[in-house]
Each structure stands twice: as structure tokens, then as C-alpha cells.
A and B are shown apart, each in its own frame.
Chain A
């Protein structure tokens, strides 16, 4: 089956460090509700997933990119090998890992789930989007569906029998979801007739499952304007018979498949609902006009998934660039640049290449720590729910606060870092012979879908900062301060901890300034600085978590003999922490200073002054 070759790389030692040593998985494992999940299981699952990723998904990554998805007789045909991979994915139970046991899954902790998803995404992002959406449909219906809907759909989309999609976007309704026009007309039997066009629908059609369950945002006749009048519908590709089997066509037509910059193995579809007035949907749950908040349950998970996608590609780009840099010989070492007979060195010996590699290493590691931290809060929010309300609220608050950071920072950085990985290769990286050019093309979408980076930034400054009277943000800042206080005198990281403290002050200062702007009706400044604030807060989080990892790694390395594999690993963690603190965290203050200039030239400049024609 494997026509291509695998290029995906992941460092399982690093994953284990983050899960087991940095975020002490042990504190969670073996206790309710994760009784069955010990450290051994975690290790076995990671190594088996990595094997599946390398042997099955990885070899199909470039195949999917070159072949793309074809439209044949009105249906999408996925690249060669995707159908078998789908089968293998579900037979191996990789996608059911975190599914609740009542739906046939393994109910694993979220911490492990994100690590497994990183591996699946990294090996073949275009492929992994299809089952990812099916998963999201299962999660949403499990929470918002009626008992009958849960019975009819949830297990089937969780176990890969059926696919799934989320249908929000329409030609005139992208970022502005409230503008959707797709109509839903209630029928005497309680069903709704659906009519409208959705664009850019990932996995909108494919040949890996017998049926696809579309979750469609639409407007019921007479509903209020904007997001308050949007309802969510279950619209299967094939009507579902009373016995649960898939029946006749439900009048959902594949109108087109987009040709894209990347993600070519993933079908991005235009879907036409009810062209023949024969498309039926059922309302999710029992109430109309709450579609947006229902969809958000899927969106939050999907936003974290996008962050993971970014992390997974950037990380594999790093490990590939690293391997290349160790192999490629070019030029003498800079200390001998005048000597024409100096030996040629591997490019990893050039300081600027080392700088690029260390930036790739530390940034991806820091983002991974941020993703796992978010997942850990999710696990604890679930574990403490109903037992300790205060703790549960704290953990859920951190999940809410960190979600836009993970989505945007990981999403934006992925594209930049993949570009940097190409830079490490030089000309070779630009060629299709190596995986990094595809990574860069695939990665650009992460700052766009599931809400653009600016939409995330506005979610952060407009909603999340002030959530619960600002309590989530305060708790976050408090955690950082506790760390700074504890490490201020640390012999290796003291200075950097101080730097982190100052960066935290700068972030708080900008948060206060933004509050001031919004009270002083200077909304333009708030909006103009939102992305900057999101970046600063992300860098602060990543810098903090890298230092935390550095402190732990250094402590663990003391007993080891220098130079062996383990001690080199810990040495690398220390280097990541120091590099990021001195080269990124150190710049956070400067960004706050820029914001304090209250520059509104982008707002003031007239349209005509932008030039062009």
C-alpha cells in the first residue's frame, strides 16, 4: 500500500518528558475517571501510534499532496491508500482513544489524547482532518443531541463507520458566521427541509465511509437576524433508515472541490443542500436558535486541534531539518573562513544554522508544553467536577483562556517555523524532494480556518480576559508569579525568571491599557493591538513553560553522566529554555512599549492613501 515513503518524525522521548516529567501525568493516571490509564499504557499507546503513523499515514502524505482529491461523477475520490488507512486507523483504535467507554472508546485522558493526535496529524495532516471532523460530530452530538440522536449517530461517527463535517461557511458568511443564509423550513413531521450552499467544507464528500453526517448551521424561517437566529441541524448525506442503516440520497450535492495551496489530500468542498427540494435535516437537541453555542462545543475542540496541527508540522519540520543539517556539508567553519583549505563542515556547525535550529526546537517544545498544559487542565476540570467546584472552575477557566493562544500562536508560528525549516535546507528545502515545502504549504491554513488569528485575538481580548470578572486571567498571572518567586534565586535560571516576571508585568500593563481604551471609547486601539496582545501572552506562556521544563530537566540531569543520550536530552531542554527566554521573552516588554505609543496610523490612513489603483 505504501507508495510514498514516510518523512514524519517525532521524538517520543520529548513527548514522554512533557507528559510524565513536566506535567506529572502520574497525578492523574490510575485515579477516577482514568483508573485504567497508567504510565505503561501511555508509553505503549505512544509507541504503537508512532509506528502506525510512520508505516501507514506517513507514506501517504506526499501521495495525497500530489494526487489531490478528484471529483468523479459528482463524488469525491480520495488519494490512493486513504481508504485502507481509514480502516487501519479505526481497527487500531487510534481514533477511539479518548471516546467515552459508553460509546465504545478507551476514555483516555486528554493529555494522552493530544499527544496521540499530534502524531496522527504530523504524519498526514490532510488525512487526519477527515476522522477529526467525524470525531467532532460525535462529541457535539453526545453533548447536545437528544437520546434518540445519540443512539442513532454517536457511536457510528466515533467508530469510523460514518464520516462527519461542520458546515458553517457560506460565500458571504466566513468570519461573520451570523450572516448564514441557508434556510430550514419546519415540516409537519418535525423534520426540517434544508436549502442552501455551503463552501469550503472539509471532508464535505469522500469515499472512505458509507455515509457522512453534516452538521449544518441554518436559519429557521422567521428567526431573528445575526447569530441569535441560527440553528444547528443534522443533515446526513444518505437518509438514515429506521433500522439505522444508510438509505437513499438526501439531496446533498457535491458542487465543487477547491484547488488549494496545500492540504491537497483533504477535500475542501462546495456543498449544495436541497437543490431538488428533497433535503431533510433534524434539529440538534430540541431548541431552535441556539445553533451557535452548540457549534461552539465543536469549535473549541477544533480550535485546539488546529493548534495541534500547527505543532505537529512544525515539530516534524524541525526534526527533518535537523537531520539534513547534520548531513549536508557546506563551507568551512566561520572561525577558519580565511583558510581556503579548511575542511568543509556540516551546516549544523554554522552558528546561524544552529540559531535557526534552536529556535525551531525551543518554540515547538514550548508550544507542545502549552498544548499539554491546556489538556491537563481539561482533565482536571473533568476529574474535579462535582467534587471541588472551585478547582473545577479554575481548571475550566484556564482551558477557556488558553484555547485562543493555542489555536493562534501554534497556527501562526507553524507557517513561520516551516518556512524557517526550509531556510535551514537552503535550495533543497524548496524542492519537492524534501518534506518541508509541503509542510509550509499545508501549514498556512492554520491561521485561517476555525476563525482567523484576528478572530482568536478578539475572542481573547473581548471575551476571555474579562471572563468571570477577570478571574481566569488573574489566576494565570498568579501562577506565573508563583513560578517567578520560586525561581528568582535559581543558579541557572534566576535571571531568566526575573525576565519572565518583567514580561508578565508588561502583559498585565497592556491588558490594563486595553481596559482603559475600551472605557475611553478607543475601540480602534483595542482592535489594532489585539493580535499583538495575543502574541505577547502566548510568548509569555511558552517562555514560562520552557523555563519550568528547564528547571525540571536540569534537576533530573544532575545524577547522569554527561554526554550520554539522556543527559544530552536534558541539556537540550535547558538550552531551549534559555534561548527562548533571552530571544523572545526579552522582547515582550518592547511590544508593550510599542502598544503604549497608541499608534493608530493603520486606522487613520485613508483608503486612497494605500495606493494601488
Chain B
């Protein structure tokens, strides 16, 4: 028998890596004009995995996003993919990882999911902290960097088999995770926090009928105050700057010169 699962996933709004991102001249942030946004790709993988688990086990999926009204776009995207309903934590202004984890913790306490699946990091700040904080503060198990043995071209992937394996009693989850130099496996007691790595699955397209259906799925609004979380940043961004542009290459006459330059100029060997 399979136990129904309730799964909470996240959908952070991030800058689309395909738009040209420029840092403001004064270094206070990036230029927002003309930027495109999308759902954090790691979160999209989390959504996909949740949908597969619920397709197998039955149950419910809930997606959470924190931000201004514009995050509805990402919530709708997740719901267009198939998530049942959304929770929107309405907040504008800077948030650090601890504030985000604090808000998500409260949402988890309210929603009481069997599992929270998050991207291992978001591609804007690449911090890789929220899942870990959250699990610690909730006192839940955690399995970070979830991946799988099968390749993304495998039959298991084509038939949308979930990579996370829930125990027959519905009380544990077994997670294959990326570790330095390979894969490892952990088993956690549920509820647990899982964060996704890139090779966990290939997220589905939002089918066009799904886009229309998403319109009528509910979005519940919450606020940091209502959740009782102090979101005042403990972390301050002092300055942002673009990476130094790549220098033009040079041609060297022979291998000896190359070796010499690598040693004395580039100092890499």
C-alpha cells in the first residue's frame, strides 16, 4: 500500500540567465530594467520531483514563494506544471537566507507536509543554505543535493519515475545524493527536507492546458508579520561588482614558452 504524501515545494523568482545582467554603476545591485525572470531552475526540479511522487503516492503538492506580487508568475508556473495550490508570503525588500528559512519553517509548521523539497540553491545568489537552516530549525532530517543513479536519458527518467524512494510504511525517504567524487545514499525519517541537484530529473513543460488551469488554482497570502518572523536582514550586501572581463589571449611560439609562462606569469603550475 502507498501512503498519500503532502509535499511542499519552493519557487523562487530569479533573473533569467539568458537576459543580460548588468551591475549598477554604484554597485548597489543589478539593473532591473528589461530583465526577464523565471523560476529558479533547481526549484523547478523540486516541483517536478514532487509531482512525480504525488502521481505515484497520491496526495497534495503546495508551492511557496516569497516576494512581491510579481512572484505570482512563478507560483502560476509551478501550478501550470501541476502543483495543486500556492502560498505567497508577501514581502518586498531584501531578505537573507536566515529570514527565508525562518519564513519557510513557519509555513511548514502551518502546512505540516510530509516532505519539503527545495532547490539546493538559487541561481541568483548561489548561497546553498536555506534547506539546511530550515531542517535544523524544524528538527527534521535533511538530504541535500538529491540526485539519482540513472541518467537523464534513461527509461526510468522517460517514464517520469520519481528518484526519491518513500518507505513502504510512508515514514522514511531514501535519497541518492551527489557527494564529492560520486553518489551516496541517505535515509531520513519523515518529515524531512530534501534539496535537489541538477541531475535529479528533467522538469516537464508546463502544458498549455495547465497554464489555463493554473489561473483558477488558489494562492493563499501570508505575511512575515502574520507568521511572526522578524525578517530584518542580518547580512548586508556592501557592494556588487561584475567579474573582471576576460583578457585577450596571446599566442606563444612553443611549448617551452608556454610552460614558462604558466609557471612565472599565470602561476598555475
Contact = CB atoms under 8 A, between A and B. Distances in A.
Do chains A and B interact in one complex? yes
Interface of A: 1, 36, 38, 40-41, 44-45, 48-49, 51-52, 88, 91-94, 96-97, 106, 560-561, 564-566, 569
Contacts of A566: 33-34
A41 B20 contact: no
B34 A44 contact: no
A96 B212 CA distance: 13
B220 interface: no
B205 interface: yes
Interface stretch (B72-80, B104-112, B115-123, B136-144): B72-80
B244 interface: no
Interface in B25-61: 31, 33-34
Contacts of B34: 564-566, 569
Contacts of A41: 211-212, 215
A124 B34 CA distance: 29
Contact of B31 (A1, A48, A52, A564): A564
B255 interface: no
Interface residues of B, number: 19
A91 B207 contact: yes
Contacts of A44: 73, 76-77, 80, 206, 211
Contacts, number: 53
B212 A92 contact: no
Interface string B5-41: 0000000000000011000000000010110000000
B208 interface: yes
B209 interface: yes
A40 B205 contact: no
Interface in B149-199: 153
Contacts of B215: 36, 38, 41
A92 B208 contact: yes
A106 B76 contact: no
A97 B33 contact: no
A106 B205 contact: no
Nearest to A49: B208
Contacts of B19: 565
Given A44-B80, A564-B33, A565-B20, A106 B73 contact: no
A410 B17 CA distance: 33
The 8 closest A-B pairs by CB, nearest first: A565-B34, A93-B208, A93-B207, A566-B34, A92-B205, A93-B209, A44-B211, A92-B207
Given A92-B205, A96-B208, A564-B34, 4 more contacts: A40-B73, A41-B215, A44-B76, A48-B80
B33 A96 contact: no
Given A45-B211, A48-B211, A40 B206 contact: no
Contacts of B205: 48, 51-52, 88, 92
A97 B76 CA distance: 18
A91 B208 CA distance: 9
Contacts of A94: 208
Contacts of A565: 19-20, 33-34
B206 A48 contact: yes
Contacts of A45: 208, 211
Contacts of B33: 560-561, 564-566
A48 B76 CA distance: 13
21 contacts: A36-B215, A40-B76, A44-B77, A44-B206, A48-B205, A48-B208, A48-B211, A49-B208, A91-B207, A92-B205, A93-B207, A93-B210, A96-B209, A97-B208, A106-B208, A106-B209, A560-B33, A561-B33, A565-B19, A565-B20, A565-B33
